[in-house]
Amino acid sequence: MAKEEELKTELIQSIIDYVRKNHAEAIDKAYAYFWDEKNPDEFLSGNALYIGFVNFEDWLIFDYKANDAGEAFIDLYVNNSTGLKDGELALLNKIKDVLLSLYEVVSASKDKRVLLKDLLMGGEVSLKEKALTNSLKKGDIFAARLLPLDRGHVMSGSVYPFRKDDKETVLEYVNRMFRRYTKNENANGTMKDFLGDYGDVFNMAWIRIILNQREDNTAAS
């Protein structure tokens, strides 16, 4: 693990501990909101359930609005923690505003570098994590938060895996929620504004697809 990525891992765990110690009451509220008042144990299991909990913690730290000022817990940690070293503070400020987005694999090379296209905000990103890119192939779709660390980009830990066939379904859902956002909350809002306010949109899309698959399987049996 590279130097900045290793430090990021330590700081994320420190933020989780900070939230558990100082804002325990907010966790239950955020959990219910993230899962749309559902119990994930009832429709997720095994690795999918593990991914779901990792995604929740990532969203809780980066995206959940912890106060009326719209600050996230990563902001509160930066502002309220004492003893942070300059390097730690610099890294947190570097990653705290990075958003979740939806990516498609454009190419996967032999050296395990994967080129990704941001389907919502535009642009391309090269992902260098060999441990996470070994199984990625051209056309794969997933949502993730890509952090600019160690002169490249790495995943924050959160990932929403979608099937290739789900691409249009996910895009349609996100764009529909974005249109609702600009109609009811922020007429001049951009997709970036929307994802900053509603990073949970990918979890909602993920849940909907999983529940629909279960219904289809039940109907077919």
Distance of CA 206 to the CA centre of its chain: 12
Q: What CATH architecture applies to the domain 100-164?
A: Beta Barrel (2.40)
Pairing of strands 152-162, 141-149: antiparallel
For residues 100 and 195, is the Cβ–Cβ distance under 8 A?
A: yes
Per-residue pLDDT of the chain (221 residues; tens, 9 = 90+): 579 999 999 999 999 999 999 999 999 999 999 999 999 999 999 999 999 999 999 999 999 999 999 999 999 999 988 889 999 999 999 999 999 999 999 988 766 688 999 999 999 999 876 666 677 889 999 999 999 998 889 888 899 999 999 999 999 999 999 999 999 999 999 999 999 999 999 999 999 999 988 776 666 55
Domain boundaries, the chain: 100-164
> Other C-beta atoms within 10 Å of 202: how many?
26
Tell whether the torsion through CA atoms of 135, 136, 142 and 143 is positive or negative: positive
